[in-house]
Structure 1
Amino acid sequence: MNIKKWRPYVYYGSLAVFLILFTWGFFEVVDALQENEVAAFDATIIKEVQSWVNEGRTARMVFMTELASVIFLTIATGLIALFLVIRRRYGWALFFVLVNGLGGVFNDFLKELFKRQRPDILPLIEQGGYSFPSGHSMGSFIFYGALSFMLFRLLKGKWKKMIAAVLAGCMILLVGLTRIYLGVHYPSDVIAGFSIGAAWLFFWIMLFHFSEYRINRRLSR
């Protein structure tokens, strides 16, 4: 069996499976929310996480949560895209802008669709808008996930790729934790944000690969 021949099929098949699984996970949370099956779960997690509250930790959590705010992600996306354009990585720049920019629009659409009010259990910061799915959680998964994917493709060296992936994963999880700690999201909001953010990211990764394939095929003619 030629392993190299089958490797692309395994890779693209895995992307499709992840896209389906995370989409299914999101709709499972939606179903549980509509059936009022998440209240006990949310209350238990919130009670545990907010038992950690102290002044010093709150300051660190506020700092961490800002690393997934709309302002930060917008500026960071713009700077990274500019850097990519300067390096003549136009396809990567377009991918990074579209996956993040349209991801934000998609999150706004979902919030308006579900209109879930934010929790009122010990909110430590003020946060407007609706709660479901968590925009910070969805945005962090898309931004740091896309950044990790890009670095994984562009960096040389297995350890550099692994470090980029681990750091991205840690950032995503920490941002989700801050939203519960700060009292502005239910845990189910965060899980839904991660799920739909992951589905959105895998969809765009597949679209990026398809576009890359079409361009390379056209150039090879």
Structure 2
Amino acid sequence: MDKKNWRTFVYYGSLLAFLLFFTWAFFEVVDALRAKEVETFDTAVINVVQSWINEGRTARMVFITELGSVKFFTAATVLISLFLAIRKRYGWALFFIFVNALGGLFNSLLKEFFKRQRPDVLPLIEQGGYSFPSGHSMGSFIFYGAVSFMLFRLIKGKWKKTIAALAAGSIVILIGLTRIYLGVHYPSDVIAGFSIGAAWLFFCIMVFHVSEYTFKSRRKKTSR
């Protein structure tokens, strides 16, 4: 196996490994939730995070949490997809719409399946619906992860790629933290949201690569 093929093997092997790991992590949280083994952990983390509450910090947390809202993701997905389409990156535009739109639907189905009520703690904002898994956490991992993946593929320069990945990761973590701080999610909701969001993202990336390979192969055959 030459160097190029080895890198390809490692890359796709890593995608599959991440998909399996995060899927396993999600079901581990589900098992712990059903066995009622997360209550002590959730309470301890909530007590620590909500001990930070003050007026100025709460305003910043509300702003950050909006970066993980359905309204923000919908508007941003439309704008980014239009930009990609204008630049004739049609495959990327379809990928971005697919991963975010179906990811949101997937979260809604999971919430309806588990029907976990929201924490009975100090809620700093109003939030309806069920709690598990956190939609903000799942959606932020999918959205910012997809943006990071596209930038990694479309821009040049290791530093630019590294900065984009670090920025995306930081935003995702902060959004998850705000959900605990604001009293609308248990920490286990956030961890589960990150886990299943990551699994969905890596699954979609693999589907994108398969579709990309299939399209290129068919185009080569028709051009002969």
Calculate the TM-score normalised by the size of structure 1.
Answer: 0.99
State the match for 1:11 in structure 2: 11
State the match for 1:83 in structure 2: 83
Deviation for aligned residue 1:2: 2.3
Counterpart CA distance in 2 for 1:5 and 1:181 is 46
Matches within 5 A, 1:183-202: 183-202=183-202
Is the counterpart of residue 147 in structure 1 residue 153 in structure 2? no
Instruction: Report the 3-state secondary structure (helix = DSSP H, G, I; strand = E; otherwise coil) of the residue aligned with 1:220.
Output: helix
Counterpart CA distance in 1 for 2:104 and 2:4 is 37
Residues 156-184 of structure 1 show CA distances to partners (whole Å, capped at 9, x for unaligned) of 11111111100000000000000000000
Counterpart CA distance in 2 for 1:215 and 1:166 is 32
State the match for 2:206 in structure 1: 206
State the match for 1:73 in structure 2: 73
State the match for 1:47 in structure 2: 47
Instruction: Report the 3-state secondary structure (helix = DSSP H, G, I; strand = E; otherwise coil) of the residue aligned with 1:127.
Output: coil
Instruction: Report the 3-state secondary structure (helix = DSSP H, G, I; strand = E; otherwise coil) of the residue aligned with 2:51.
Output: helix
Identity fraction in percent = 74
Moved over 3 A (4+): none
- Count how many residue pairs are aligned between Structure 1 and Structure 2: 221
Counterpart CA distance in 2 for 1:155 and 1:56 is 37
AA aligned to 2:82 is L
Deviation for aligned residue 1:217: 1.1
AA aligned to 2:7 is R
Residues 69-110 of structure 1 show CA distances to partners (whole Å, capped at 9, x for unaligned) of 000000000000000010000000000001000000000000
AA aligned to 2:36 is N
Deviation for aligned residue 1:56: 0.1
Instruction: Report the 3-state secondary structure (helix = DSSP H, G, I; strand = E; otherwise coil) of the residue aligned with 1:133.
Output: coil
State the match for 1:177 in structure 2: 177
AA aligned to 1:75 is A
State the match for 1:28 in structure 2: 28
Instruction: Report the 3-state secondary structure (helix = DSSP H, G, I; strand = E; otherwise coil) of the residue aligned with 1:204.
Output: helix
Residues 117-165 of structure 1 show CA distances to partners (whole Å, capped at 9, x for unaligned) of 0002111000000000000000000000000000000001111111110
State the match for 2:116 in structure 1: 116
User: Any stretches of 5+ residues in structure 2 without a counterpart?
Assistant: none
Cα RMSD of the aligned pairs, angstroms, is: 0.6
Instruction: Report the 3-state secondary structure (helix = DSSP H, G, I; strand = E; otherwise coil) of the residue aligned with 1:52.
Output: coil
Deviation for aligned residue 1:218: 1.2
Counterpart CA distance in 1 for 2:89 and 2:5 is 28
Counterpart CA distance in 1 for 2:216 and 2:133 is 37
Counterpart CA distance in 1 for 2:120 and 2:75 is 30
User: Any stretches of 5+ residues in structure 1 without a counterpart?
Assistant: none
Counterpart CA distance in 1 for 2:4 and 2:116 is 48
Instruction: Report the 3-state secondary structure (helix = DSSP H, G, I; strand = E; otherwise coil) of the residue aligned with 1:141.
Output: helix
Instruction: Report the 3-state secondary structure (helix = DSSP H, G, I; strand = E; otherwise coil) of the residue aligned with 1:112.
Output: helix
Counterpart CA distance in 1 for 2:82 and 2:203 is 23
Residues 24-47 of structure 1 show CA distances to partners (whole Å, capped at 9, x for unaligned) of 000000000000000000000000
Instruction: Report the 3-state secondary structure (helix = DSSP H, G, I; strand = E; otherwise coil) of the residue aligned with 1:132.
Output: coil
